[in-house]
Structure 1
Amino acid sequence: MEPIELDSNHKRVLSGTIYLIEKLVNELEQELFSPPETIMVKKTGIPDTESQDRCLAVIGEVKAMIGNFSVKYGLEQEQFELQQLINAKKAVMWEMLHETESRHLAKYGVFPAEIVGEFDADIRKLLKLVEKL
């Protein structure tokens, strides 16, 4: 079967959307198998095994359809250097942490002056760790 030719703009939008759908279903699949509790999150209302199995089956169908979209519309598999992805994620984490410094949090209300030094030092420590990734 010959792929259906799309205008490059339409192809780019479709590729981006399908990429994000694939990423989200992969994350959902991971969530179903990850521990119910992490440092910052405790999952509640965990579905029973039958519901999880049904969800996994649908995820499989979504992935199959993504494969079909790829062939049908001639979407090419993107290639990227893993280091570029790491650097991009580091930049996002750095920006988020930077925006969490006490001077930035002050826009949400008065930040307690007595903990500014310690709080900002903790944020800087985490920033330094992120920079090492």
Structure 2
Amino acid sequence: MHEHREETYLIVFDGKCVFCSGFAQFITKHDKAGVFQFVTAHSAMGRDLYLKHGLDPDLMETNIVIIGDKAHIKMQAFSAAFSQLGWPWKIAKVLDIFPRGVMNWVYDQIAQNRYRFGRQACPMPSPELKAKIIE
């Protein structure tokens, strides 16, 4: 008999970035199954996850979406998270057909300029998102 293990659905995000926080808020709002949990990149757990996946926790140049045992970064993180939401949002999975190098370049351009659009000194997550942040 196999032991049933719940699958992990975790998003590590930069809580000071308007785009990243908006992404987390969007996922929370549209996650009808309620599977995703969140960790801010600034927390000890967030920093540890960045290091575990070979990323610089001080740069925070990507969100990390962990589904099961697989970590997704950059544009694949976006695609992986949206693919769990159901229709019409899971259509974002089509982003995976484009060359990874091109999609990561696009993601990097946005990430490198993310604070130009605003920085949240004291981010105020929605009550729904706040309830899903585990650290």
| Higher relative strand content | 2
TM-score by length of 2: 0.28
- In our comparison, the structure showing a higher alpha carbon Rg is 1
Taking structure 1 as the reference length, the TM-score comes to 0.28
Structure showing the higher helix proportion among its residues? 1
Q: Kindly indicate whether structure 1 or structure 2 has the higher relative contact order, using CA contacts under 8 Å at least 6 residues apart.
A: 2
